[in-house]
C-alpha cells in the first residue's frame, strides 16, 4: 500500500469518430507492416509502441486487483484521463483531444462500443498503389476519392471505445496538445490497459 501511494503521489505531482484528426508531426504517414500509421501515430516496423508518444513517462496504472466500479474522467484543460475503480484513482494517462472547432464535447457519457482493431469511417489517407506514396494525408470520405491507381486507406484506431456518437478513446499520436477531430487519443500502452479494464456501460465524464 505504501508503494502504491508513493507511486501515485509521484505521478500526480508531475502534472502541474468516427471523427478523429490525422497525425501531426514528421513521418506521420509512414507505414506499419503494410498499413498506414496515419492515426495511430506510432511508427515502428514491428508494430505499435506506446513509447513513441510524448509524455508516456507520465502514465500511471495500479489498478490490477483493485475492486470497484470503473469510471473514466477526461480533463480537457490538463489533457489527462483519470481511471477510477470505486472511489480509488488507479490510473492516469496523457491524452490528445479535439482541436478548436472540433472540441471533444463536455458531459457525462457511457462506453457503448469496444473494438480492438477499429478503423475510422471518415478519415484516412490516399496512397498511390504502384509507388506507395501518400498523395493525401488528410483524406475525408465525404470530400475525397481515390483516383486511378490509388487506394483510400482508412485510419487505424486500435483499442477504440465509443462513448459519444462518433467520438471515442483509442490509441493515437500525442503531440502534447489537443490535436484530434474530437476523439481522445491515448498512448498505446495506456489505451490497451483502459480497454482491457473497461466494460460496456462504464461512465465517461468529460470536463
Residue from 20, 118, 170, 181 carrying the catalytic annotation: 170
Is 20 known to be catalytic? Answer: no
Dihedral of the CA atoms 120, 121, 126, 128 (nearest 10)? 90
Beta bridge partners of residue 113, listed in sequence order: 162
What integer pLDDT is reported at residue 126 of this predicted model?
87
Residue 41 pLDDT: 37
Q: Which domain holds residue 48?
A: 2-206
CA distance 158 to 202: 19
pLDDT digits (tens, 9 = 90+) for 124-178: 788 889 998 888 887 888 888 888 988 888 778 899 999 999 899 999 888 889 9
Confidence grade of residue 46 (pLDDT, cut at 50, 70, 90): very low
Q: Residue 57: its pLDDT value, please?
A: 60
The pLDDT-based confidence of 180 (bands split at 50, 70, 90) is confident
CATH, residue 113: 2.40.440.10
**Total number of domains constituting the chain:** 1
Number of C-beta neighbours around residue 202 at 10 A: 20
- Of 19-23, 56-60, 92-96, 177-181, where does the model show the most confidence? 92-96
Residue showing cell 513509447: 51
Q: Is 170 assigned a catalytic role?
A: yes
Least confident of 60-64, 78-82, 143-147: 143-147
Beta strands in the chain (DSSP E): 31-32, 35-36, 60-61, 70-75, 80-85, 88-94, 107-110, 113-128, 134-140, 150-164, 167-171, 184-186, 203-206
Edge-first strand order for the sheet with 134-140 is 134-140, 113-128, 150-164, 167-171, 184-186
Amino acid at each position: 500500500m505504501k508503494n502504491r501511494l508513493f507511486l501515485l503521489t509521484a505521478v500526480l505531482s508531475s502534472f502541474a469518430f468516427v471523427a478523429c484528426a490525422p497525425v501531426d508531426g514528421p513521418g506521420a504517414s509512414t507505414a506499419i507492416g503494410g498499413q498506414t500509421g496515419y492515426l495511430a501515430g506510432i511508427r515502428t516496423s514491428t508494430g505499435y509502441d506506446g513509447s513513441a508518444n510524448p509524455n508516456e513517462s507520465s502514465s500511471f496504472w495500479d489498478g490490477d486487483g483493485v475492486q470497484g466500479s470503473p469510471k473514466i474522467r477526461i480533463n480537457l484543460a490538463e489533457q489527462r484521463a483519470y481511471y477510477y475503480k470505486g472511489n480509488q484513482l488507479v490510473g492516469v494517462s496523457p491524452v490528445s483531444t479535439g482541436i478548436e472547432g472540433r472540441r471533444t464535447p463536455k458531459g457525462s457519457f457511457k462506453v457503448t462500443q469496444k473494438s480492438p482493431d477499429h478503423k475510422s469511417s471518415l478519415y484516412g489517407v490516399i496512397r498511390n498503389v504502384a509507388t506507395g506514396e501518400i498523395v493525401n494525408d488528410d483524406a475525408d470520405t465525404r470530400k475525397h476519392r481515390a483516383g486511378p491507381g490509388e487506394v483510400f486507406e482508412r485510419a487505424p484506431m486500435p483499442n477504440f471505445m465509443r462513448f459519444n456518437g462518433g467520438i471515442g478513446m483509442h490509441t493515437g499520436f500525442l503531440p502534447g496538445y489537443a490535436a484530434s477531430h474530437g476523439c481522445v487519443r491515448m498512448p498505446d500502452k495506456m489505451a490497451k490497459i483502459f480497454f482491457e479494464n473497461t466494460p460496456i456501460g462504464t461512465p465517461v465524464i468529460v470536463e
